Structure 1
Amino acid sequence: MAMSRFEYVKSFETTGVLDPAHWIVITLRCQNLDTISQVHKFQRPNDIRFHQVMEASAVSVMGEFKELVLGYGFSGEFNFVFAKNTTLYKRRGPKLLTNICSLMATTFVYTWSSYFESVTLNCLPVFKGIIHLFPDDQILRDYLTKEQLVCHQKNLYNTAIWSLVSTEGLMPQDAASALKGTSEGEQNEILFSKCNINYNNENPVFKKGTIAVRCKKQVPVTTPDGSVTQRNQSTIVTMQSDFNKDKFWTETFALQQPTKHNSKTSYVKAFEKNMELLPQTWLVVRIDGKGFHRFSEKHNFEKPNDIRSIELMNRAAYQVMNTYPDIVLSYGDSDEYSFIIHKDSKMMKRKENTIISSIVSLFAAKYVYDWQDVFVGVPLQYCPLFDARVVLYPNIKCLHDYLSWRQADCHINNMYNTCFWMLVQRGSYSRRRAEEKLCGTFSDDKRAILLTEFNLDYDQEEAIYRKGTTMIRRNPSEKEKNSGVSYLDDIVIEHTDLINDTFWEERHWLLSDKPRG
């Protein structure tokens, strides 16, 4: 392969395989919940519609991932528990986290209108993901017990604040001052004496949160001979229950090891996995669509390239780059995008899982949010998934070679796909026959096929297909616009050659300046 000299950059990738025989718990927290609630004027202290969106999204995630056996959520948070012995994706933490995170984000956007019927979604969710690894059943129980206690404490406090606001006419900050330093008992007394509210009668979904359990149920199935038989089918059941009670752990979700209620649960934070990435290294976050071959077939993407799909990917990438100023450059083609974060960046304290989950959730949410604007008249059949990883590169040469590798891959794939679909669409080849014809061919062979059989000069094809899309920060000292370049705020969108040194020599400010964050 002509560009094989760039392949070495793959050796910097790590798998992030999680220890075997441990419970894997993935926690997603909506980072911008306060902004979402303010923008959409949520009911206080709780908006049942938001709870329904979160619950529906979480149930959809559990429905997609059969290895998820238990879930628990409240407010803007949801915890997903994988079976202790799962081998899904061979237990690669970043892949598990980002697939779940992206699906939660896309489903959130997709289902919003079902519950907020007259409220347009104007602020996309960003989820911070955390991975916990628990070696035994007792720690799993202690963790979920702690989470449910946090749910109760936050809800009691918020109920007291907003009840004082509504009944006593206090400003929120004054109500918060009045509650400062109060105990749970005192907050209950304030609710009862001043607001005529018995907290015990409040909606249990807000007091206890939602538990989602995977269960088996018998369903009738008709066999080929016409007879009806009963078979087990997996289903997700939601409920409100108490994690601190033995009944849940013995009857609803039976554990193999004996457990007991433990009032001291703060220790579980030590089992959190969120590695701080090495300083003074360039961070590359690469997003890939999961199962996009099937997704493109289901939505009848045009072949060999669908400009609508590329536009949607570019919109999502622009949203990410515009949100996080420490991203100095983005490059994408087909169903993937790479985001380059400056080596001096302290973005999100350089926490690996926080960075990849935040970027992939915003990217995925924007993809679904803009779907109808780009794919006009094409209903979204199901929500797409994306996985993400972060790779560290020690110097600019490695970074250049990484981007050269991705652009070389774009060229190789696009040339093959262009030739393949010309043979199928205009040459009346079957797909199998087209594959056989192209098997073992080189770039020159494919160019010759395109030119001699279809009078198509590959080098005249649109650069967006041959070279992909590059987004960079505009040089702060240069205000003039160059021909052929489109400007969106301070982000420049180009379809240019990243392999030759010319690109970097003309844009020296990209990798030399401090990050803008």
Structure 2
Amino acid sequence: MANSKYAYVRDHESKDTLESGCFIVLRVHCSNFKRFTKVHGFEKPFDERAAKLMNSCAMAVFEEFKEIVYGYGQSDEYSFVLEKNTQLFERRDRFSEFNEFEKPNDLKALNLMNSCASSMCKDFPDIILAYGFGHEYNFIFRKETDVYTRRTSKLVSVIVSSFTSLYRIKWIEFFPNKDMRSGALFEGEVLCLKETSDIQAYLAFKQQECDEKNLTNTCFWKLVESGKSEQEAHEILEELEKGKERLGKNEILFQQFGINYNDLPDMFRQGSCVLKTIVNDRRKVITVHTEDIASATFLNCYSIVSKELTDLEENASRIGEKHLNLCWVEKKMEQDHWIVVRIDGCRFSRFTKVHGFEKPFDERAAKLMNSCAMAVFEEFKEIVYGYGQSDEYSFVLEKNTQLFERRDSKLVSAICSSFTDAYVKKWKECFPKKDLQYAPRFDGRAVCYESYKLIRDYLAWRQVDCHMNTRFNTCFYARIHSGESTKTAQRNLQGTLTKERYKMLSQEFGIEYNQLPLMFRNGSSIFWDDKVKGDKWSEETSGGIPKYNSRWLLGRTPTNT
């Protein structure tokens, strides 16, 4: 449809982004309600049925748009007040605006992105090359890689989680005098390219995108600096876009502002390439800039890269988009199904050992996980329920959510990113005397469930797992603390039944399992509490999993779902 003869109609669309930092009030009323009430015989002066219908419709709007915080109606009208910082329909207080990045390019922010990409290349041996510009990075893995057994959800969630973690940790290096005012939320998607020529074409495509975006942004912000309003600057550039006039933008920069576009820093115009090379007989990760990142001349300069990317085309930039066989790995979750996104700590056994977590349970770590889950709830209003235990958390999204168009990779990676960012941010709140030794990471997956019963069974499954792990770990570490070796403790527990473990704890160690803290035995449940004014979250650890709450079931009983 993008290239059809009907595409011109989009030219009539206008950008009408509302001013940030303001409450939005949207009033709806019927234009011909006087005639409507007469035709349908409404009682006068008031019809209770009609009033209840209006109220019921308003409630349905509340269920559909969680950003609405208040509604008032009378007669044939209703007013809806949206959250002050709502992001509904692309009204975005962007991360760069929150943190006051310089325009059109912030050198420190770009260097931060490059530093994160460099660390990623060191942490993941199968990454052979990375290319980034603006707020994105592309990581290319070896063709034969078997990392995470090539599972899409695990691969994309771990990469995004790792990048998010590094971004939060490294922020202070590049912005020592500025606190991060809002979390950086990253999302990811995966594509599979079969041939080296496809890789070259993709890199050429992305570098062209970098160049065009930078040229446009540079023109835009120079026009704004000169006194034009943002709307006026947009209109000037849109006129140039209609004529596909690249020279027009260059002329604006040169004639009006004395800027030769080609004299701007390479990193802004060309993007950054992070790759591995040999320096003094040792592997080293470096960041380079070049006018043609996809050319054989450039890529063949680095033996580690050329070893993986064989049969390179010399004029890759001429391959063109028509030869770009982009195989996006995209899975959309079924409509009218509950979506559950479960995240788990990645290699957390080592993480807990390095950071000296208390065994068998560390209350600080459990509270940190719960606090992160609450942050995810605040970020994604479409999540209606969360259940967590140990190093995992499951998030249940509304049955009819259209978040990220129900795309698997986007859902999983964005939720993982939000959780990871919160974990690093809140670490010192729970571990004030411990520094993070390295970046934590999480992996995730998304699953669809058709009925309420399946959701209940899923949550019950996770809670049973919580009980089993708690019983085993309590017994195991009780034996370890009593002086047994790891192997001896494992041997003594092998094949024991639940009743035997209860007896073992009580008789040998004086521990009554049912007296252990509820958070460790039952796990933690987090859900929206409609009874709390302001739509606040609730945390429940006392009774396991509640049967339902009104927002989750939309007012219906379990038998109707």
Q: TM-score range by the shorter chain?
A: 0.7 to 0.9
Match of 2:248 among 165, 174, 186: 186
Which residue does 1:14 correspond to in 2? Answer: none
Are 2:374 and 1:374 equivalent residues in the alignment?
no
- Seen in structure 2, the aligned counterparts of structure 1 residues 160 and 509 have a Cα distance that, compared at 3 Å, is closer
CA radius of gyration, larger in:
2
Q: 2:197 aligns with which of 138, 146, 157?
A: 138
Q: Residue 523 of structure 2 contacts residue 544 of structure 2 at CA under 8 Å; is this kept in 1?
A: no
CA distance in 2 between partners of 1:263 and 1:188 (Å): 25
Partner Cα separation in structure 2 for residue 68 and residue 318 of structure 1? 33
Q: Distance in 2 between matches of 1:172 and 1:101?
A: 32
Superposed displacement of residue 312, structure 1: 1.2
Q: Secondary structure at the match of 1:180?
A: helix
Distance 1:171 1:295 in 2: 50
Distance 1:270 1:238 in 2: 26
One-letter code of the match for 2:483? S
Select the residue among 473, 478, 495 that pairs with 2:541: 495
- 1:471 equivalent to 2:526? Answer yes
Change (3 A) 1:45 1:479: closer
> Does residue 457 of the first structure (1) align with residue 506 of the second (2)?
no
1:248 aligns with 2:295: no
Name 1:238's counterpart in structure 2.
Answer: 287
C-alpha displacement at 1:266, in angstroms?
5.7
Residue in structure 2 matching 1:198, options 240, 253, 260: 260
Deviation of 1:370 (Å) = 0.9
CA, structure 1 residues 490+246, in 2 after alignment: closer, same or farther (shift >3 Å)?
same
Instruction: Find 2:311's aligned residue among 257, 271, 275.
Output: 257
CA distance in 2, matches of 1:367, 1:309: 10
2:8: which partner in 1? none
CA shift, 1:268, in A, is 3.6
Q: 2: CA distance between counterparts of 1:404 and 1:385?
A: 26
Please name the residue that 2:483 is paired with.
428
Contact 1:282 1:394 in 2 (8 A): yes
Structure 1 counterpart of 2:528, which letter? Answer: R
Whichever residue aligns with residue 416 of structure 1, its letter is F
Amino acid of the structure 2 residue aligned with 1:456: I
Aligned to 1:161: 220
Q: Report the Cα offset of residue 431 of structure 1.
A: 2.4
Q: Is the 8 A contact 2:201 2:323 kept in 1?
A: no
Name the aligned partner's letter for residue 227 of structure 2: G
Give the equivalent residue in structure 2 for 1:307. 363
Aligned-partner SS, 2:374: helix
**CA distance change for structure 1 residues 431 and 72 in 2, over 3 Å: closer, same or farther?**
same
Distance 2:296 2:359 in 1: 57
In 1, Cα distance between equivalents of 2:92 and 2:383? 23
Separation of aligned partners in 1, 2:403 and 2:339: 10
Correspondence 1:62-461 to 2 at 5 A: 62-166=121-225, 168-182=226-240, 183-219=245-281, 233-241=282-290, 242-252=292-302, 253-254=305-306, 255-259=309-313, 260-261=315-316, 262=318, 264-265=320-321, 268=324, 270-425=326-481, 427-461=482-516
5+ residue gaps, structure 1: 1-30, 220-232, 481-487
Partner of 1:227: none
1:447-478 Cα offsets, whole Å, 9 max, x none, are 1111112222110111001001100121x3x3
Change (3 A) 1:202 1:418: same
Secondary structure of 2:132's partner? strand
Quick check: 2:154–2:444 contact (8 Å CA) kept in 1?
yes
| Shift of residue 176, structure 1, vs aligned partner | 2.3
For residues 341 and 267 of structure 1, what CA distance do their matches in structure 2 show?
A: 38
Alignment partners' CA distance in 2, 1:33 and 1:245: 37
**Structure 2: stretches of 5+ with no match in the other structure:** 1-89, 557-561
Q: Distance in 2 between matches of 1:33 and 1:281?
A: 28
* Higher mean C-alpha displacement, 241-250 vs 108-117: 241-250
Instruction: Read off the aligned partner of 1:256 and give its amino acid letter.
Output: T
What is the root-mean-square deviation in Å for CA atoms of aligned residues? 2.0
1:270 offset after TM fit, Å? 4.2
Q: Are 2:556 and 1:507 aligned?
A: no
CA distance in 1, matches of 2:91, 2:109: 13
One-letter amino acid matched to 1:464: M
Distance in 2, matches of 1:417 and 1:245, equals 55
Q: What do residues 183-241 of structure 1 show as CA deviations (whole Å, max 9, x unaligned)? A: 2111111111110111111010010000011223444xxxxxxxxxxxxx432121001
Give the letter aligned to residue 144 of structure 1: L
Secondary structure at 1:213 match in 2? strand
1:307-339 deviation digits (Å, cap 9, x = unpaired): 111111111111111211221110001100001
Deviation at 1:430, TM superposition (A): 2.4
Distance in 1, Cα, partners of 2:450 & 2:509: 45
Identity of aligned residues (%): 32
Shift of 1:513: 5.0
Contact 2:193 2:326 in 1 (8 A): no
Report how far residue 244 of structure 1 moved: 5.0
| SS of corresponding position for 2:188 | strand
Map Cα deviations across residues 348-389 of structure 1 (whole Å, 9 max, x no partner): 110111101110011111100111121102010000111100
For residue 215 of structure 1, give the secondary structure of its aligned residue in structure 2. Answer: strand
- Structure scoring higher RCO (CA < 8 A, sep ≥ 6) equals 1
